[in-house]
């Protein structure tokens, strides 16, 4: 009935080899997490549900596949592809939100230092001076920053949020001339089990997955490094990261060519870790919150961008209900 780690679940259901060769690179890899500590309930609840409902993962997957095929026949064909992104990059989403909200004042580049209770509402204190008053506040900052804001107003919630870990990752993007490139790129990329002894965790063949991202006549690859099990690699400088990636691509894909473009990005402490019993801890945080405070973002109920959008929408609805004087609903 309780939560358990991804490693414990996979070992119990499918054995050690399935954990090391499939679950660790494919499932823990999405979260840049250690499968021994990450919560199965907060990351892949559908597996827990499948086990509960069908007794066996394989029987459950076959049943789900059958149901999907039946549903697909009933539904009109859709234009959605397996992978989706925004045409001109994710910044487009922020630009569009600003464009569609002419009545909202955005203070980008402004750092909040603290929040405090004032005259029955909230005061937001800006670094370097300045103060904003509000009846309701939605805190959409990373968990560690939110913990700092809550320290004086909801200390128990702050203590729990402080324990949520973040790990660092890095990505390296390489572009090559398509003509004479030594690999056919007939897929979307690959993940690498730790036992193979390479630096990279995964490689996306960007020009196959999102062709519009690469100019005609070129191919592009994007590799991921770091995460909970290899965090030290994510801290290396750009030249070292590019060299590690090129060595791995030579050994794994046989790519010997010189890239025409290479760039490394550091995502320092950007990947939140959902450890065993994460969901119960978040329940406690929400119960401990002072009235008029709401939380949103990847630290709570899902790390994907759609999860974050849902989290923001729910918090906004809860804040509106609060302002209208309706009873509190969980966000
Ligand atoms: C390398 C990588 C690849 C990923 N790939 C995918 C993917 O393919 N698909 C997918 O769905 N998800 C992906 N994710 C996950 C997803 O991008 C994140 O989970 C999501 O963007 C987190 O959103 P958020 O709003 O919770 O946090 P953030 O986007 O980090 O927003 C927090 C905001 O708080 C602000 N802030 C911090 N401190 C303060 C302060 N003191 N005052 C004011 N503001 C402050 C920050 O500036 C920031 O804007 C990926 C993540 C990484 C790192």
Domain holding 184: CATH number? 3.90.660.20
- Which atom in ligand 1 lies closest to the alpha carbon of residue 270? 53
Q: ipTM > 0.90?
A: yes
- Of the three residues 244, 272, 300, the one that is the final residue of a domain is 272
Closest residue CA from atom 24 of ligand 1: 297
- Number of alpha helices (DSSP H) and beta strands (DSSP E) in the chain: 13, 10
Nearest Cα to 315, choosing from 303, 290, 297? Answer: 297
- 262 and 287 in a single domain? The answer is no
- With 60 as the cut, is the pLDDT of residue 88 above it? yes
- 317 and 281 in a single domain? The answer is yes
- With 70 as the cut, is the pLDDT of residue 329 above it? no
- 247 and 316 in a single domain? The answer is no
- Counting the structural domains of the chain, the total is 3
pLDDT in tens, 272-283: 999 999 999 999
Burial class of residue 179 in the structure, from the number of CB atoms within 10 Å of its CB (0-12 exposed, 13-18 middle, 19+ buried) = exposed
> Residue 187 is part of which domain span?
166-272
* CATH number of the domain within which 124 lies: 3.50.50.60
Closest residue CA from atom 30 of ligand 1: 142
What average pLDDT does this structure show over 313-319? 97
- With 80 as the cut, is the pLDDT of residue 81 above it? no
Residue ranges lining ligand 1, Cβ < 6 Å? 111-112, 140-142, 145, 169, 171, 267, 270-271, 297-298, 303-305, 308
Task: Grade residue 68 by pLDDT with cuts at 50, 70 and 90.
Answer: confident
- 115 occurs within a structural domain: yes
Closest residue CA from atom 5 of ligand 1: 304
- With 90 as the cut, is the pLDDT of residue 14 above it? yes
Distance CA 122, CA 12 (A): 49
């Amino acid at each position: 009935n309780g939560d358990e780690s991804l490693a414990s679940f996979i070992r119990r259901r499918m054995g050690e080899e399935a954990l090391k060769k499939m679950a660790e690179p494919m499932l823990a890899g999405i979260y840049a997490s250690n499968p021994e500590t990450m919560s199965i309930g907060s990351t892949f609840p559908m597996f827990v549900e499948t086990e509960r409902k069908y007794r066996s993962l394989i029987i459950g997957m076959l049943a789900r596949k059958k149901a999907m095929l039946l549903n697909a026949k009933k539904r009109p064909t859709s234009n959605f592809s397996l992978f989706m992104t925004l045409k001109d990059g994710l910044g487009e989403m922020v630009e569009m939100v600003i464009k569609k909200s002419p009545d909202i004042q955005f203070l980008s580049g402004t750092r909040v230092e603290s929040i405090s209770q004032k005259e029955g509402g909230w005061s937001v204190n800006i670094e370097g001076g300045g103060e904003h008053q509000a009846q309701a506040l939605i805190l959409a900052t990373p968990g560690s920053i939110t913990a700092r804001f809550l320290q004086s107003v909801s200390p128990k919630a702050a203590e729990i949020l402080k324990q949520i870990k973040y790990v660092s990752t890095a990505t390296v993007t390489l572009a090559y001339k398509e003509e004479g490139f030594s690999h056919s790129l007939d897929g979307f990329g690959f993940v690498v089990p730790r036992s193979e002894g390479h630096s990279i965790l995964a490689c996306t063949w960007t020009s196959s997955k999102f062709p519009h991202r690469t100019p005609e006549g070129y191919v592009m690859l994007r590799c991921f490094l770091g995460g909970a099990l290899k965090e030290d690699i994510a801290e290396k400088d750009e030249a070292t990261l590019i060299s590690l990636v090129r060595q791995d691509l030579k050994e794994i894909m046989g790519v010997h060519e010189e890239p025409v473009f290479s760039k490394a990005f550091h995502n320092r402490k950007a990947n939140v870790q959902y450890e065993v019993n994460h969901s119960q801890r978040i329940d406690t945080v929400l119960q401990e919150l002072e009235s008029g405070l709401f939380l949103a973002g990847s630290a709570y109920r899902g790390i994907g961008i759609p999860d974050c959008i849902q989290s923001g929408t729910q918090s906004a609805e809860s804040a509106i209900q609060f302002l209208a004087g309706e009873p509190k609903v969980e966000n």
